Structure formats: C-alpha cells, structure tokens
Amino acid sequence: MASLQDIAVAAGINGLSALMFLMVFAMLRLQPINDRVYFPKWYLKGIRANPVTSGNAVSKFVNLDADMYLKFWKWMPAALNMPEPELIDHAGLDSAVYIRIYLLGLKIFVPIAILAFAVLVPVNWTNDTLETINNLTYSSIDKLSISNVPAGSARFWVHIGMSYIFSFWTCYSLYEEYKIVANMRLKFLAGEGRRPDQYTVLVRNVPPDPDESVTEHIEHFFCVNHPDHYLTHQVVYDANLLTTVVNNIRSMQNRITYYQNKYERNPTKRPTTKTGLLGIFGETVDAIDYYRAEIEKLLKEVTAEREKVINDPTYIIPAAFVSFKSRWGAAVCAQTTQSSNPTIWLTEWAPEPRDVYWDNLAIPYVKLTIRRLLMAVALFFLVFFFMVPISIVQSMANIEGIEKVFPFLKPVIREDTVKSFVQGFLPGIALKLFLIVLPTILMTMSKIEGLTSMSSLERKSAAKYHFFLLVNVFLGSIITGTAFQQLHKFLHQSATEIPKTVGVSIPMKATFFITYIMVDGWSGIAAEIVRLSPLVVFHLKNTFLVKTEKDREEAMNAGSLTFAESEPRIQLYFLLGLVYSTVTPILLPFIVVFFAFAYVVFRHQIINVYDQKYESGATFWPDVHRRIIIALIISQLLLMGLLSTKKATKSTPLLTLLPFLTVWFHLFCKGRFNSAFTEFPLQDAMVKDTLEKATEPNFNLKAYLEEAYVHPLFKAAELDRRISLNDEENNPLVATKRNAATGSKYPSNEGSPKQVPLD
C-alpha cells in the first residue's frame, strides 16, 4: 500500500523518464541522418526525397541549426494542427479512426474524472473507517477510496448513483462516437475514387465440375445467374511454393549486396563464405560468385514454376475474384445467397487487393469449421495454461540446467555476479519473450482459422489478445494464482460469489495499476515515438546493405499501426478507468494523462511515420465499441460484488438493472450502426454508378479490372522488381542512381517546396 507521496514520487520518475524519451526524440529527429527513420511516410508518399537541410557535408548528418533545437516541442502542436479530413486523406481512414479511440478515452474519462473528484472523493474522504480500525496500515490513497466508507453506510447510494451517471455518460459517448465513425466511413466510401474492390466479389468454394474447368464453371455460373451484371473474373493460383522461392532469392540478393559493399571497402580481398548451414560450415567459396550462381539457379526455378502454375489446371484453386459491370451488381452478389447449398459458391466483398491474404482462399467449408473448433480449444489452453511451458523453460533456465547443456560456460556462470544475474533475470526473460511472441502466435492462430483478408486477421487476433489480457493481466493481477487456478475456483463458486471475490480485491490493487499505467502507458508511449529498434535497424542496413537509393528506400521501415497488438492494450485502460471510476477515483487522472499523451504521439506517428499496409475503412470500430461495452459491464458487476460485501444489501439490487440496460444498449447500437460496417447499401452503389456513367460513359472497366486481383507474384512488374538482378547491379564498381520512385506509390518530386510540411 503506497501513500500519496509514494505515488507522487513514482509519477515524477515516470514523468521524467517519459520527458527524457521525448528530449531524445527531439534531438534525434532533427538529425538529417535519421530523417528516413522519423519521416518515412513523406518519403513513401514521394513528397520528400532528401533531408531538409541543405548545406555543407557535416550538416548532411548532424543538424547545426540551434534555433530548431529550441523549438523541439513544436512537433506537438504540429501533430494536432492537421484537420481531420486532411488526415484521412493523408493517412487513410483506418489510422484516422484509430486515434479517435484515444480521443474517445478522453471524452469518456475527463468528465468522469471531474465528477468523481467533485463528488466521490469528498464522500470517501470524510469517513474515518480506516482510522478507527487498529492494527491496519492504510495509506492516504485508501482514504480516498471506497474502502474508507463504513459497511452498511447510506453513502453507498452516492456510489450507485455515480455508477449510473458514469454508465449513461459512457454509453452516450459511445453512441455519439459510433454515429460519427459510421458517418465517416460512409462518407469515405462515397467519396473515394474508383477502386477495384468496389466492383469485385470474392467467390469461394466453387464446386468441382466433371465437364468444365474451374474458370469455365465460374464464368457460366455468373453469366447465368447475374446475366446483366457479370463482367469478368480472375482465378486464383496456388502460389505458395513460388512465394518461398522468391523470398529465397530476395535474401540471397541481400547477401550479395552485403559482400559487394564489403568488397568495395576492401577491394584487395574477395569476400568468401561457406556453402553449408548459415555460412558457418562447409566448403569455402567466393561469396559474390557463389550467391550469384545460386540466384541464377533459383531464377530458373521461378520461371519453371511460374510456367507450371499458369498452365497446370491443378494449380487453380476453387476460388475467384468475380467482377461486375457496376457497383450495384457487385453489392447484390456480395450480399445474396447464390446456391441452395450454402457451403458452395460463397460470396463476400472482395478485400482491397493489398488486403487479400492469398494463402487461405482455398479452404473448403468442413475443414474451416474444424479449424475454428481446434483454434477455439487452442485459445482456451493458451489463455489458461500459458504458464505451463513457461514454467518448464524457467525451471530449466537455472544455473544447473545451463551447466548441463553448455558445460564450457561453467567457469563463467559460477561467478557470483553472473550467477545472481542468471537467477534473477532469466525466468523473467522467459516470460517477457513469450509475451513478445504472443501476438505472432495469435496471428498464426487466426491464419489457421482461414480468414481471407489481412484486416480480418488483425481483428480476430485483437479479439484473442483482448481475451488474454483480460484474463491474465487484469484478473491475474487482482487475484493471485494462475489463470487456470482462477478458472477452477470460479467454476466452484456461485455466480454471485465471483464478482464478490474479485470486487473485494479491487480497491487494494489501485496502487499497482497506477504504477502499471505510468510504466506501460506513459513511458511506453514515449518510447514508441523514439522508434529505437527501427532506428538501429535502419542504420545497420544503411551501413551494410544499402547501395542504391532504392535499397535505402527498402531499408526504411515505416512500420504501421499494429491493431492486433495495440488496440487490446488500449482496452485495458478503458477497463481500468471504468472499474476504478467509482472505487478509487484517484486513478482517473493517470488514465486521462495516458489518453491525452497517446493521442498526441500517435497523431504524430500516423502523420509522419506509419505506412498502412491496407485500408479497411475502419471496419474495426464495432469491435472497439463492443469491447468498451464489455469493460463497462465488468465494472458494473465488480461494483455490485464489492458493495454486496459492504453490507449495502438495500442498495445493491438497484445495480442489477445496469448490466441489462447496457446489454440492451449494445444490441440497439448493433442494429443501428453495424450494417454500415459490413454491408454496402444499394442506394449508395447506385448513386456512384449513375454519377460515373454520366461523367465517364466510355471508361473501359474490363481493362481496368484485368490485373487488379492477380497474385502479386504474377504481376510482371512486381516480380521483376522483387528479383531484379540486372547488369547495372552486376557491376559493383559503378555507382548507380536510380529513380527513388521505383518502389514508392507516388511519383517523387524532389526538391519540391512541400518538403517540410510539419515542422
């Protein structure tokens, strides 16, 4: 139990460390050498091609303009200044809506915090329950919390009233936000230009036909059943093997560049490598020649495989992208049932071409349901038994275990300092490592489930991660014991006991969660803006792998919003805020600071750094909404549990109404807004079709759609780009200067006046 002073000190330390990160960021971002780390988005957009400063040689790497250092905080107003429509245009709707989650946090918690401080803090403070109990060490924080109200006090009516007000306010904010986001999405869809996915439907589970090939069968089916609307279709090839080979070639090319750079620096000695595993074992050969020969070999393989895939009908999977003459025709086909057997001819909106997850297009219906069952079981075990493998690793990662496996380390780890380090840190590292790979594991599970677009994969993974955090971080922090022990306990407790067990521990954990918010929230966000790992990786690549502008562009890792990982973490803050709003209001300011800080930082990031891989048009919002509702209901149940242990039997039943009303509110919102995120209304399709027909009556849609949904590896340009190994590059001694725009999506206009849009 920490006192207010302790909390203040911790806040100071964390605030300082956050400030330190910000100072570091302010320094680093001004250095031209880091320009591609902190402003990659502008490079990718082609607006920026060189660092800002133009002066002598030194200023190419270090910024010497003192004035700019003094204005180091200027990025914050700059990040906030860009108006929302421009932001959508610049970063896409997904990103713009994503940062609205933080804004929603502010909208919900600022009024709640003010009200809680005005009403609940005095109500709690003016009791003396804790003072009258002897033998109890209590802190000033507890004096501000509900623990200070004596059992059976009439004051609990205030808490119940506040719980109603907070719930209504949260629901109101959620409703308004849902409305805003739904309108943004509709406006976005209505406003955006012609895109292939507007005309295209993904058809899966095409039934086999003994007399026709897949492509003929698809064509006949849609010619018959959508006679006035069907335009063309694109079959999907099974290119998994090809992808592997192409990826191999890319890694070989990286190695060649590395050795060529090495050779350039030291032309007296040809670099060598070994042919065996990882270049460590095997025969020694000339590295550049060896890899060049390997690539030649693989290139032949690629050509052969490509021929085979295109010509062999068994490589065509029973799925296709079917395009229609109008958006109306596509909307109709996507929303209707095609066949009386609902497991064949499944149609859905085609994802954006960039968003397609090609590997999952061929899974038949029965397999899909079995995969889902298996993944549900796997998720259950992952969440409730994840400590088992970690404990095993931890038990092995002790001194004796290491000695056994690596006997030669014996003298080193026998040293006292090393020993204590190993014993103190290794178990923690095992857990930390697991938590770092967890999102990847969850993403793999979602992939096994058979979803067909990147955006849905991210959403599913987020749902899984949210469940994990809820059980293992939230409940796990409140109740001691592993998740499985909790589950076992809950199963043997009555439905009314569970909220009591959890609710009672809630006030005691307030200090812990305040610290958590500061460390994970404040410092974590500040660390995010420094982009330490991309910074290091970029400079490493820049040193060893970069030869051309194009290489430099590829070395630049803009990153993107990792929805699957970050959104569930935000949800944890919503949960904490809602749970503690009535119990320990002192926690609320920390939440508010987190949301405000994160909002500014991520607004900056999406403007200057992140490059989204796809655009889903904010389809994730219903998930965000639902999870906040879940947090709200959890907070209501826990307050009920807490109050029922406080002998407030008269008042507690009043609270039972609240979860039911919340569930109803959720259903209402779902009916009111959800379809805006899943369906494309015919009216809107018709409006766009009509407009298009009037403005561009002679547009050749078929030609436009022809190449849209070809697997990336079968697009001639793409393949060449990926495995480019032409004569120019074969000659390592002539420095080439290719156009930086080859990899970027927009023509680069070097030296344009737009270069410094946000400083």
Nearest distance from residue 175's CB to a copy of itself, in Å? 12
With respect to a copy of itself, which residue has the nearer C-beta, 343 or 560?
Answer: 343
Residue pointed to by tokens 């074992």: 281
- Distance from C-alpha of 290 to C-alpha of 601, rounded to nearest angstrom: 47
- Distance from C-alpha of 664 to C-alpha of 670, rounded to nearest angstrom: 10
Residue type, 201: V
Name the residues that contact a copy of itself, by CB under 8 A.
Answer: 186, 221, 224-226, 228, 331-332, 335-340, 342-343, 345, 365-366, 369, 373, 377, 490-497, 660, 664, 667-668, 671-676, 679-684, 686
Cβ neighbors of 250 (< 8 A, separation 6 or more) are 722, 723
DSSP per residue over 661-705, as a string? HHHHHHHHHHHHHTHHHH---HHHHHHHHHHHHHH-TT--HHHHH
Nearest distance from residue 685's CB to a copy of itself, in Å? 9
Nearest distance from residue 340's CB to a copy of itself, in Å? 5
> How many Cα atoms sit within 13 Å of 471 on the Cβ side?
21
Cβ neighbors of 346 (< 8 A, separation 6 or more) are 203, 204, 205, 338, 365
With respect to a copy of itself, which residue has the nearer C-beta, 282 or 342?
Answer: 342
With respect to a copy of itself, which residue has the nearer C-beta, 186 or 426?
Answer: 186
Q: Which letter, b or e, does each residue of 270-295 get, where b requires 16 or more Cβ atoms within 10 Å of its Cβ?
A: eeebeeeeeeeeeeeeebbebbbebb
**What is the separation of C-alpha 41 from the centre of its chain, rounded to a whole number of angstroms?**
18
Nearest distance from residue 186's CB to a copy of itself, in Å? 5
Question: Could you say which DSSP state residue 228 is in?
Answer: T
Nearest distance from residue 640's CB to a copy of itself, in Å? 12
Decide: 49 and 557 in contact? Cβ < 8 Å: no
Nearest to 654 by CA among 633, 634, 640: 640
Nearest distance from residue 639's CB to a copy of itself, in Å? 17
With respect to a copy of itself, which residue has the nearer C-beta, 493 or 543?
Answer: 493
With respect to a copy of itself, which residue has the nearer C-beta, 162 or 218?
Answer: 218
Length of the chain in terms of residues written:
759
With respect to a copy of itself, which residue has the nearer C-beta, 231 or 246?
Answer: 231
Nearest distance from residue 687's CB to a copy of itself, in Å? 9
Nearest distance from residue 96's CB to a copy of itself, in Å? 19
With respect to a copy of itself, which residue has the nearer C-beta, 343 or 744?
Answer: 343
With respect to a copy of itself, which residue has the nearer C-beta, 607 or 655?
Answer: 655
Residue type, 428: G
With respect to a copy of itself, which residue has the nearer C-beta, 43 or 188?
Answer: 188
What are 377's two structure tokens? 């079981």
With respect to a copy of itself, which residue has the nearer C-beta, 132 or 683?
Answer: 683
Nearest distance from residue 333's CB to a copy of itself, in Å? 8
Nearest distance from residue 590's CB to a copy of itself, in Å? 35
Task: Detail the DSSP E strand segments found in 523-663.
Answer: none
- Angle (nearest 5°) at CA 315 between 312 and 318: 125
